Amino acid sequence: MRGTHSRILTTVVALLALQLGSLVAPAYACGCGAMIPDKAERIGVDREESAVRWDGRTETVVMRFYVHGNARRAAWVMPVPGRADVRLGDPALFDELDRLAEPEQRDRPYFWPREGDWPFDGDHGDGAAAAPPGAGSGVGVVGRERLGPFDVARLTATDPDALGHWLRANGFELPERLTGALRPYVERKWEYVAVRLAPQEKDATLHGELTPLRIAFPSPELVYPMRLSRLARTPQDLGLHVLAEHRMEPRSPIGGDRPEVTFAGLIERPEGAVAELAGDRPVRLTVLEQRFPHPERIDDDHHLRAVADTPYREVEYTDRLMTVGGGVPVWLLTVGGGLLLLVPCAVPLAVRGKRRRSGKDAGVRSPA
């Protein structure tokens, strides 16, 4: 008994330590870099979505984050291969893209009643159920602007250490280990968009859906920066909506689960926020979902390539009991009809059997 109590106590202490650690440790998250709160605060990204438009010369990324925590400020860095133009994005964009890529709805009939159908619950309905489905040394400041909740600095750098020092000296609280992660981009002479998120309301925290941020830059290929996400402390979920001339897919999973295409198709007449991003000419939309259970394994950026323009749309099935005539189950008609057909055959057989038994009884004499 003492051994059992000891094991229970050990388990409880371990769980409490785990919960306490999750409260005091900052949550790093962001598909394009490390989102870091101020000390003693925490922030987590529930989901990151990006819409990417590439016309063969210029790439435009519109990013939307859903965050939680108690942070009043946070910062992240996005490396880009060329000079960036930064502005606020249209919040309606992702809703419009979701409508264009929503799954096709189909009914899937079934014959025999299931749980929830009559006679198992007394309900005479059809019982539908959905199927699962300033610069420092080595750093140049291109510009710095305030855009809604964002303080944005556009930078160049020839030394990753100098870049890290500049960021921290100018209010971008980022971890020391970010310096090493930036080195590959410095060597390739990329530029940087450093972003501080701070609510415009005094003492407000970063919570829920943040205003989208739109970043455009020249690029000879479609690339989505991901390498800095290896700094993340928690698993990452990435949703990419890619608008290009052809269906586009990543060249490799770069350390995450295999990317999944949930939609691929031609948008013949873009409208609204989609047309503002992609123009009003026909464009192909590819929607990708990917999970990174172990962010530390991320070893590259996403390089996307054109593949065959095969259309694809997910299908969501709703299982429905087969009925006719205003809701009468087909199985009931079938079984009942079969029984009715058996009655004319069963009655003569029963009569004939009775006669045979009567005849046998008549021929038997009782002993004297």
Amino acid at 110: Y
pTM, to two decimals:
0.71
- According to the model, what pLDDT value does residue 189 have? 93
Q: 3-state class of 227 per DSSP?
A: helix
Helix (H), strand (E) counts: the chain? 6, 22
Convert the pLDDT of each residue in 309-342 to its tens digit.
999 999 887 777 777 776 777 767 777 666 666 6
Amino acid at 282: P
Q: pLDDT tens digits for the chain (368 residues)?
A: 445 444 433 332 332 233 223 323 333 334 455 555 555 555 555 566 899 999 999 999 998 876 656 556 677 889 999 999 999 999 899 999 999 999 888 777 766 777 766 666 554 444 333 333 344 468 999 999 999 888 899 999 999 889 988 988 887 877 778 888 889 999 999 999 998 876 666 665 565 567 789 999 999 999 999 998 888 878 888 889 999 999 999 999 999 999 999 999 999 999 999 999 999 999 999 999 999 999 999 999 999 999 999 999 998 877 777 777 767 777 677 776 666 666 565 556 555 666 666 655 555 555 55
What percent of the chain is modeled with pLDDT above 90? 40
Task: Please name the residue ranges forming H helices in the chain.
Answer: 2-24, 92-100, 160-169, 178-187, 272-278, 330-362
Mean pLDDT, the chain, whole residue set: 77
> Please, which residues bridge with residue 240 across strands?
50, 288
Q: How much helix, strand and coil, in percent to the nearest 5, is found in the chain?
A: 25, 35, 40
Q: Which of 208, 95, 204, 211 is nearest to 152 (CA)?
A: 211
Q: Which of 61, 53, 29 is nearest to 298 (CA)?
A: 29
